[in-house]
Amino acid sequence: MENIMSKKKIYSLIGLIIIIIAIIAVIWPHDNKNSVNSSSSLRRTTIILGSKNFSESKIVMQIWADALKKKGYNVKTKPNISSSVVYQAIKSGQIDLYPEYTGTIAMTYLNLHIVGKNANEIAKIARKGIAKKNLTTLNYAPSNDAQGIAIRTSVAKKYGIKTISDLQKNANKIRFVSQGEFDKREDGIPGLQKVYGKFNFKSHKVYDPSLKYEILAKGEGDITPASTTEGQLATGKYFALTDDKHFWPDYNLVPLVRNNTLKSNPGIKNMLNKIDQKLTTTELQKLNKKVDVDGQNYQKVAQNWVNANY
């Protein structure tokens, strides 16, 4: 009887030891290998990147996506979202991240005043305002996709026109290829004339915006409203006049991301900031040219850029 009791005590002791070992295994700090596995499991959460429905937005989205994939993140892309819908898409969680512009966030989404503000001030206004929407902006890129005026290089050389002030002084020699709304908007001709003075163009005709560079190429016009990162400005045939009186505010490219996404994937912050440092106005012009002028696929253009730069 005593032997039986002794055996029971031994079995009980062994069972207790097994339980203790199991508990220690659960609560013991993970080693480096387990930390890597934990990080990997975090990256299995899919990050959905979106873009607006124009080349620059799609190129930048794909650059970010390819770079994230390179680092082991699971990524899905949703390109070609309408500009009028994309902001709602990120607020509702349909996408986690997309390329936006500081000026657009501040002026269009938040209805805030940015005229006369510099790039840093506009970026701070955008970040502070968007925080109330559970969104954040990362560091903005040097590229400035602002409103501007493109001029034929040959015409600029002929009359010595480099700035909008130069254009105003030589307007009577210049044929303006306009777009209807630009003639009426406060950030178009009406606003320009308040800052620079009246523009007495040699001719002033309205065309479909999609035809503007075709009209200039045919020699049927000399200047046209343009965004300062358009691919045609990288061809050497045209360039954007310097806004020497700083009429137009800066629209710097910036990652707009959901707070929850950044919290779950903190590593993407430094990655995207590092990439965006290289996205200058000139660099975006070159990338846009490959798609809009040379006819290359935006995904291939992005892939080549990431392979060469990241």
Average pLDDT, stretch 220-238?
A: 98
CB 38 within 8 A of CB 30: yes
* CATH class (in words) of the domain with range 47-144+252-309: alpha beta
- Across the chain, mean pLDDT equals 89
Q: Output the DSSP codes for 32-89.
A: HHHHHHHHHHHHTSPEEEEEESSHHHHHHHHHHHHHHHHTT--EEEEEEE-TTTHHHH
CB 115 within 8 A of CB 86: no
Domain 147-241 bears CATH identifier 3.40.190.120: yes
| Predicted local confidence at residue 56, as pLDDT | 98
Average pLDDT, stretch 33-57?
A: 70
pLDDT grade for 58, boundaries at 50, 70 and 90 = very high
Select the more confidently predicted residue: 61 or 116.
61
Average pLDDT, stretch 183-196?
A: 94
Does pLDDT of 94 surpass 60?
A: yes
Does pLDDT of 34 surpass 50?
A: no
- Judge residue 139's burial from the number of C-beta atoms within 10 Å of its C-beta, 0-12 exposed, 13-18 middle, 19 or more buried: middle
Express each pLDDT in 118-149 by its tens digit.
Answer: 999 999 999 999 999 999 999 999 999 999 99
Q: What Cα–Cα distance (Å) separates residue 280 from each residue in 13, 141, 250?
A: 70, 7, 13
- State the span(s) of the chain assigned CATH 3.40.190.120: 147-241
pLDDT grade for 112, boundaries at 50, 70 and 90 = very high
Count Cβ atoms below 10 Å from residue 278 Cβ, excluding itself.
Answer: 14
Distance of alpha carbon 81 from alpha carbon 123, whole angstroms:
23
Express each pLDDT in 61-79 by its tens digit.
Answer: 999 999 999 999 999 999 9
- State the span(s) of the chain assigned CATH 3.40.190.10: 47-144+252-309
Distance of alpha carbon 66 from alpha carbon 285, whole angstroms:
20
Distance of alpha carbon 208 from alpha carbon 221, whole angstroms:
13
- Judge residue 29's burial from the number of C-beta atoms within 10 Å of its C-beta, 0-12 exposed, 13-18 middle, 19 or more buried: exposed
Select the more confidently predicted residue: 43 or 158.
158
Average pLDDT, stretch 188-203?
A: 97
| Predicted local confidence at residue 115, as pLDDT | 84
Distance of alpha carbon 131 from alpha carbon 220, whole angstroms:
48
Does pLDDT of 287 surpass 80?
A: yes
| Predicted local confidence at residue 12, as pLDDT | 54
Distance of alpha carbon 66 from alpha carbon 52, whole angstroms:
17
